[in-house]
Structure 1
């Protein structure tokens, strides 16, 4: 099996942990597997270096400085593997075999990186390449970086372009947990999670796998998260299932838009809870929600509009901070779903501008980590769907 193993900063945070990492790599090699390694900077080295840059510096010098953490890690890990009789070599920007290349805009040059990744893959039967995570090489040979969480991105990207069977992210958590074990009691490991679920969690603060990395995962590539203390690269942890696909779809049934107004609703604890609970208790399904400083808007099936209005009106009467509820119908929702959406600057304007040119009024836009919902008049649904499909 061909595996790309990424070791995070915590898993390389001391000599003992580097030894543990080297043991797990050596064991996988001894079992006959082809292993490539991506290494982060040891511990908090990158953050420490950034804190010490208290002077004016350009991007090139800054990248060179922060690259020293990863450059140290690959040398340490390569030496630890060599001491175990494993033929290993470290790769960093400037190396002849270095694979990750960016274009003039700092974006990954897919064609060049894929070609170089396959060349690295061809050497796996002879050596274990230890690759600096986070770093890339510009078209002029300069050192560039892949941004926050870049080592995860390096690993999954290399897994894809090297045609690996699996990417293993070795970190300081026991895979994906049901909750933060430092905060909640009884948190346990989740054996499997979809790539959509994990990316949404990642964009909302879960530090498991960088969101940018998950964009490179396809259906053929397995990705797994394991704890550095586990000691076995090939089992345990949480398996990340599936892949992102761009999808544009139209909800077949019309929606009603119910807006509850009140004084500084956003600053009133419990208002949203009571409103949504009242609808849930009456089996009214909420399709989407939007909020402002003085309003909360619920989108429900048009057939439920009258009943939902009465339910929310009772809440308005019962709560001093609420003043009124209004209904607008029928509405249509067109949803765009795709793993690359958050990485596309200007994607909202790309969606909205053609609709404005077509004189289509957009009532609402609701975004999440991997989707955009566009709310328009029901009569504009087909044209909105067609224009949006043309973009994706």
Structure 2
């Protein structure tokens, strides 16, 4: 007997017939002898409509507490409808919302972007386990939490995905099934490229990066609760079958999903190349990287300005790279010269939460500035910040950054 946590997104409960179809898929699994927990989102667009309605009625006068209570109405309604639909099919179900004593997801008091108290949530899940053991299917509101004073909170966009993986973890589920309006994870957006193909599986890290960079299929924050022992997949609600194949999400995330800071073990050398209007030369960067790749020299970082390109390679390869690139510079009419700089240390900071964290760059760089540590180069993406500092300052910079990110 498996314990399945099935999360139904807003589109999959978009109208009465879809709710009944979703409920039937849950009952079908229950009849196979499996245990079920349902996490349900608000009916499609309901939350946006509630926000728009409140803005029209009240304008900017709502408090965050009032906003959270209004936004919660979508999930409060859909959980009741879903539980009733299951019971109409002959199986016992109980809707669980933050007003219920069995409510499991406990957070801090931040009304609109609450942080989950994992330890307390884990303990509160005993009430859900008791329902399951009685043969009752709990239908739990996604997206919502309960604060320290019993107030409703929300855990941000994509919160229903977070709820599903969080409960899967705390309940030691066998499977987490994300039911949505696509067949699974595609090789790219099928609305843009018709030849997009369905992936049979994708790793947690790949899924996190894809979601962080705009894929709407799953919220990246949810994956930090992906237990390595739990199977997970994304399927289409149109199938009406929780055993559908879809795309399997494999493996655990290696390391701390919140923030990781690391110092590369070896010195990194800087090679700077200059030339007027070099960025107007088509294929210049391709030629540069090919030159080094053909000689098995790895590039650890590269940045381009109007009149310069900076390349970072491991110190052991720097002399070879320097001579190779010198020959290339001489042959290119838009390039004039290059230089081999001092050794640097490379520090990498990774977090899926950076995309939602304003000021992260200044938080990282301010302690370095205050301690007179010069940043040679910095680059960032939606999930990572990479800094190069003087080699002698590497260890100190690492400790300063670790301290500020605690």
TM-score category (smaller protein): 0.7 to 0.9
1:37-77 deviation per Cα after TM superposition (whole angstroms, max 9, x unaligned): 11111111112222332312211221222222112211221
Given the alignment, which residue of 306, 312, 318 partners 2:322?
A: 306
Pairwise CA distance, 1:204 = 0.8
Structure 1 unaligned blocks of 5 or more? none
Alpha-carbon spacing, 1:271–1:16, altered in 2? closer, same or farther (3 Å): farther
Residue 268 of structure 1: CA displacement? 8.9
Matched, 1:166 2:175: yes
Question: How large is the RMSD of aligned CA atoms in angstroms?
Answer: 3.0
**Which of 82, 92, 99 matches 1:94?**
99
Once the 2 structures are TM-superposed, how far is the Cα of residue 298 of structure 1 from its aligned partner?
A: 2.7
Q: Are 1:245 and 2:250 matched, yes or no? A: no
How far has the Cα of 1:384 moved from its partner?
Answer: 4.0
Note the C-alpha offset of 1:117.
Answer: 1.7
- What do the CA deviations read for 1:301-323 (whole angstroms, capped 9, x no partner)? 332431453266358x444xx77
The answer for the alignment partner of 2:393 in structure 1 is 380
| Cα distance in 1 between the residues matched to 2:237 and 2:278 | 45
In structure 2, the residue corresponding to 1:297 is in which secondary structure? Answer: strand
Number of corresponding residues: 389
Question: Distance between the aligned counterparts of 2:196 and 2:270, measured in 1?
Answer: 38
Alignment correspondent of 1:144: 153
Deviation at 1:222, TM superposition (A): 2.6
**2:225 paired residue among 206, 210, 216:** 216
Partner of 2:302: 289
Give the conservation status (yes or no) of the 8 Å contact 1:313–1:325.
Answer: yes
Asked if structure 2 preserves the Cα contact closer than 8 Å seen for 1:278 and 1:311, the reply is no
| 8 A contact 2:186–2:196 mirrored in 1 | yes
Partner of 2:9: 8
Return the alpha-carbon distance in structure 2 between the equivalents of residues 140 and 337 of structure 1. Answer: 34
TM-score (norm 2): 0.84
SS at match of 1:48: helix
**Which of 309, 314, 331 pairs up with 2:344?**
331
How far residue 168 of structure 1 moved from its aligned partner, in angstroms, is 1.0
User: 1:125-168 deviations in whole A, cap 9, x for unaligned?
Assistant: 32111111111122222221111111111111111122212211
Q: Which residue does 2:207 correspond to in 1?
A: 198
1:233 CA drift (Å): 1.7
Shift of 1:28: 0.9
Contact kept in structure 1, 2:201 and 2:247, CA below 8 Å: yes
Label 1:245 to 1:348 Cα distance change in 2 as closer, same or farther (>3 A).
farther
The secondary structure found in structure 1 opposite 2:225 is: coil
Secondary structure of 1:73's counterpart equals helix
